[in-house]
Amino acid sequence: EVPPALREVRLLALDVGALLAGASMKGEFESRLKGLLEEAGRSPQPVILFVDEVHTLVGAGGASGTGDAANLLKPALARGTLRTIGATTWSEYKRHIEKDPALTRRFQVLQIAEPEEIPAMEMVRGLVDTLEKHHNVLILDEAVRAAVQLSHRYIPARQLPDKAISLLDTAAARVALTLHTPPASVQFLRQQLKAAEMERSLLQKQEKMGIQSDERRDALTARIFSLNNELTASESRWQRELELVHTLQELRVAESDADDKTTLQQAETALREWQGDAPVVFPEVSAAVVAAIVADWTGIPAGRMVKDEASQVLELPARLAQRVTGQDGALAQIGERIQTARAGLGDPRKPVGVFMLAGPSGVGKTETALALAEAIYGGEQNLITINMSEFQEAHTVSTLKGAPPGYVGYGEGGVLTEAVRRHPWSVVLLDEIEKAHHDVHELFYQVFDKGGMEDGEGTHVDFKNTTLLLTTNVGSDLISQMCEDPALMPDATGLKEALMPELRKHFPAAFLGRVTVIPYLPLDETSRGVIARLHLDRLVARMGEQHGVTLTYSEELVAHIVACCPMHETGARLLIGYIEQHILPRLSRYWLQAMTEKAAIRQIDIGVNGDEQIVFEIVC
């Protein structure tokens, strides 16, 4: 398929670094380059010179525009005696080559675009044999497809097929390692056991010197016994899994040409049943291994959900309701959108969800973001909180996305863009969005529509794996009025329709059309009681963990707190403030007094007496 004019041509690569190496004397580099051109011209076969990173020729061997390699090559390029193919990036071309019109005229520019997924798969398949021989593993075709598709979706900063090849290479290396090294779980248990044994030996050494620590020594002995049992079970499971994998690999080699694959299928079934949802040794590079690598690189759970994860997503509204009370309808809407996205049925070009939580202060809007980050996104550390009251001026847009070239702060990144680039799998909380300038609102149009935006340096930031929660107090008085009488309170749809005129006074219709408005209801007495119990239970846990004291409270105390904290502008924050002002100081004072008197407190009971006063009963 090669054209006749190119069939006898030799393609040679020019190493600019090797050409420059050691050319310290003036004229030495020019002599080398001239000799190279003469040799190419004398060659009996036509020569095409390939120069990777061709922009390095500009300034190589001398100052740019004088005696550098690019100017030395211009005459040969103009005469046509030297045929050259150069490769460089578009930014380097504009920075170094395009500034020289004479050099630009010698080359015909061809822009090589990133290939689509199907051509990229064909390119990667051409390297499968090389990767298999290098790592001595089997690479399934599903792994090739997964490497291209997942890298294309979750690694936007790099290009195909490079990122797919890198992903597949890393997956093959991981599979090869599992065949020869203990899994991370076994290594962790070994480290824990070694640390516990070292601590026990130190305590034994102290006991010989008369320093007693019986309780700690007994606890360490029990821990070492437990770790030994756990390590033995893990090692046995690992060794059994390793044997099954080796057996499967041997059968694949032995029965590769056999018609009857019954034994091979039985071995595959036995391994699959033994591994379950948590394999530690992999017989081949599969799509699941590739997805695990993507998850490690980006923090995004890109693979197929296992049974436990699917159960967590299915029960998401109930899990959120454990922290956010009185907002079941709102949590159900958020849960449905997350479930759709995790099932792979959502629009992959947009964020997981964009919700505007509208309601009075202290009813659980911010707590919803915290609960969602903990339930789905791996912890509250994956919550990105932006206080939008700091962006009331138009020029503060640059703070969010980064300063443009020529302005102070260029290159430092934006508050929002840098946070999302580092944590692409996260919850983004835009608190008090109504206080931001209208130009800031317009900045988010492309995020809501296309799942991404460009920062001040022109780098694309991907928001497709984030959930955006916008909180606002607009219409909170209207919501409170409509919910005063539970018998006349409208449903969620009616409440949303009544709220829209208030929202349109602060947000343009184009903005509201891109978000899902979810009204948050004022807290009733039952919900406030649940919140009071929740914070009292946290206090009970802290007393037990930090001081070993059993703390109990009565239902009368909960009713007393709720009665003293009627619902108004601050919502649940008033309940928390009441506990911090009326219970924590007295509890701290009793504990510090016991420490000064060297009394050991075993239990503290908190209740309410007949005069509606909070009382503490101390048991030593």
571: left (phi over 0), alpha (psi -120 to 50) or beta: left
- pLDDT the model gives residue 370: 92
Torsion 108-114-119-122 (CA) sign: positive
Q: Are 342 and 465 in contact (CB under 8 A)?
A: no
Instruction: Tell me how far apart the alpha carbons of residues 354 and 441 are, in angstroms, rounded to a whole number.
Output: 13
State the pLDDT at residue 328.
86
Indicate the pLDDT class of residue 207, thresholds 50, 70 and 90.
confident
Q: What is the pTM of this model?
A: 0.73
Tens digits of residue pLDDT in 569-617 = 566 778 888 888 888 988 888 888 887 877 778 888 888 887 788 888 8
Domains by residue range for the chain, with CATH: 4-106 (3.40.50.300), 184-281 (no CATH), 310-519 (3.40.50.300), 525-619 (1.10.8.60)
pLDDT of residue 448: 92
Report the helix count and the strand count for the chain, using DSSP H and E: 28, 13
- The more confidently predicted of residues 21 and 462 is 462
pLDDT in tens, 7-23: 888 888 988 888 888 77
Lowest mean pLDDT among 111-125, 174-188, 308-322: 308-322
By three-state DSSP, how is residue 302 classified? coil
Residue 274 has pLDDT above 90, yes or no: no
Average pLDDT over every residue of 351-359:
91
User: Which pLDDT value is given to residue 171?
Assistant: 95
- Count other Cβ atoms within 10 Å, centred on residue 541: 11
Percent of the chain beyond pLDDT 70?
A: 95
Average pLDDT, the chain: 85
Give the dihedral of Cα atoms 302, 303, 307, 313; nearest 10 deg.
Answer: 20
CB 617 within 8 A of CB 566: no
Instruction: Give the range among 167-171, 300-304, 462-466 with minimum mean pLDDT.
Output: 300-304
Mean pLDDT along residues 350-368: 89
pLDDT tens-place string over residues 83-132: 889 999 888 888 888 888 888 888 889 988 899 999 999 999 999 999 99
Query: Residue-wise over 523-535: b if at least 16 C-beta within 10 A, else e?
Result: beeebbbbbbbeb
CB atoms within 10 A of CB 90: 11
pLDDT tens, 58-84? 876 555 555 677 888 888 888 888 888
What is the mean pLDDT of the segment spanning 386-409?
A: 86
pLDDT higher than threshold 70 for residue 335: yes
Q: Which of 286-295, 306-315, 347-356, 382-391 has the lowest mean pLDDT?
A: 306-315
Give the model confidence (pLDDT) of 214-256 as tens digits: 778 888 889 999 999 999 999 998 898 888 888 888 887 776 6
State the pLDDT at residue 262: 76
Q: Give the tokens for residue 310.
A: 């699917």
